[in-house]
Structure 1
Amino acid sequence: MIIKYFTDNDLYKFSVMYAIQRLYPWSYVKYEFINRGNNVFPAGFAQRLTEELTQMEKLKMTKKEKAFMEKKCYFFDPVFMDFLEGYRYDSGEVFVSQNEQGELSVVVEGYWYRTVLWEVPLMAIISELYFKMANASPSDVESRAVKKAKMLAEIQADYSEFGTRRRFSFDVQDRVVGCLKEHSKQFFKGTSNIYLAMKHDTTPIGTMPHEWFMYHGALYGYRAANIKALEAWVEVFGGSLGITLTDTYTTDSFFESFSLKQAKLFDGLRCDSGDPIEFIDKTLAFYKQNRIEAESKTIVFSDSLNLDVVKRIKKYVNNRLHDTYGIGTFFSNDVGVKPLNMVVKLTSVKSSPKTEFHQAVKLSDVLGKNTGNLKEIEICKMTLGLD
Structure 2
Amino acid sequence: MILKHFTDNDLYKFSVMLAIQKLYPWAYVKYAFTNRGGTQFPEGFAERMREEVASMANLKLTQEEKQFIKNKCYFFDPVFVDFLEGFRYKPEEVTITQNGGDLSVVIEGYWYRTVLWEVPLLAIISELYFRMTGAEPHDVEEKAITKAKALAGMKADYSEFGTRRRFSFDVEDKVIAALQANSGEYFKGTSNVYFAMKYNTIPIGTMPHEWFMFHGAVFGYRSANIRGLESWVDVYDGSLGIALTDTYTTDSFFNSFSLKQAKLFDGVRHDSGDPLTFADKAIKFYEQNRIDPTSKTLVFSDSLNLEAVKEIKEHVAGRIHDTYGIGTFLSNDVGAKALNIVIKLTDVKLHKKDANFLQAVKLSDVAGKHTGDQKEIDLSLRTLGLE
TM-score, normalization: structure 2?
0.99
Unaligned runs of 5+ in 1: none
Q: One-letter code of the match for 2:385? A: G
Residue type at the aligned position of 2:377 = I
Per-residue deviation at 1:368?
2.9
Query: Quick one: distance in 1 between partners of 2:278 and 2:193?
Result: 29
For 1:145, the equivalent position in structure 2 comes to 144
The residue aligned with 1:293 is 292
How many pairs does the alignment contain?
386
The match for 1:42 is 42
Aligned to 2:321: 322
Residue 5 of structure 2 is matched in structure 1 by: 5
Match of 1:104 in 2: 103
Matched residue, 2:90: 90
Q: Distance in 2 between matches of 1:118 and 1:319?
A: 40
Displacement after TM superposition at 1:248 (Å): 0.3
Question: Which residue is equivalent to 1:249?
Answer: 248
Distance 2:206 2:162 in 1: 14
- Deviation per CA, 1:4-43: give whole Å up to 9, x if none: 0000000000000000000000000000000000000000
Q: How far 1:331 moved relative to its partner?
A: 0.3
1:367 Cα deviation from its structure 2 partner: 1.9
1:26-64 alpha-carbon deviations (Å, 9 max, x no partner):
000000000000000000000000000000000000000
- Partner SS, residue 12 of structure 2: helix
Aligned residue type for 2:364: S
Partner of 1:133: 132
1:263 deviates by: 0.1
Offset from partner CA, 1:51-91 (integer Å, 9 cap, x none): 00000000000000000000000000000000000000000
- The C-alpha deviation readout for 1:173-220, integer Å capped at 9, x for no partner, is 000000000000100000000000000111100021000000000000
Shift of the alpha carbon at 1:379? 0.3
2:236: which partner in 1? 237
> 1: CA distance between counterparts of 2:178 and 2:369?
32
Question: What SS class does the counterpart of residue 143 from structure 1 fall into?
Answer: helix
Amino acid at match of 2:331: S
- 3-state SS of the aligned residue for 1:41? coil
- Equivalent residue letter for 1:370: H
Instruction: Tell me how far apart the structure 1 counterparts of residues 284 and 316 of structure 2 sit (CA, whole Å).
Output: 13
**Residue in structure 1 matched with residue 272 of structure 2 by the alignment:** 273
Determine the C-alpha separation between the residues in 1 that align with 2:94 and 2:379.
29
SS at match of 1:323: strand
Structural RMSD (CA):
0.5
3-state DSSP of counterpart to 1:367: coil
Counterpart of 2:163 in 1: which secondary structure? coil
Q: What's the offset of the Cα at 1:319?
A: 1.9
2:73 is aligned to 73
AA aligned to 2:368 is: G
Deviation of 1:369 (Å): 2.2
Residues 145-184 of structure 1: per-residue CA shift (max 9 Å, x gap): 0000000000100000000000000000000000000000
Q: Show the counterpart of 1:195.
A: 194
Normalising to structure 1: TM-score of the pair? 0.99
SS state of the match for residue 31, structure 2?
strand
Corresponding residue for residue 367 of structure 1: 367
What secondary structure sits across from 1:270 in the alignment?
Answer: strand
Please say if 1:57 is aligned against 2:63. no
- What secondary structure is seen at the aligned counterpart in 2 of 1:313? helix
Distance 1:282 1:309 in 2: 18
Q: Distance in 1 between matches of 2:368 and 2:37?
A: 12
Q: Distance in 1 between matches of 2:4 and 2:65?
A: 13
Aligned to 1:224: 223
* Partner-residue secondary structure (3-state), 1:70: helix
Rounded to whole Å, the distance in 2 between the matches of 1:52 and 1:277 is: 41
- Corresponding residue of 2:333: 334
Separation of aligned partners in 1, 2:331 and 2:82: 31
Question: 1:234 is aligned with what amino acid?
Answer: V
Per-residue CA deviations over 1:337-383 (Å, capped at 9, x if unaligned) read 00000100000000111112000000011123210001100000000
Q: CA deviation at 1:384?
A: 0.5
Secondary structure at the aligned position of 2:104 is classed as strand
Deviations 1:312-352, CA, capped at 9 Å, x for gaps: 00000012110000000000000000000010000000011
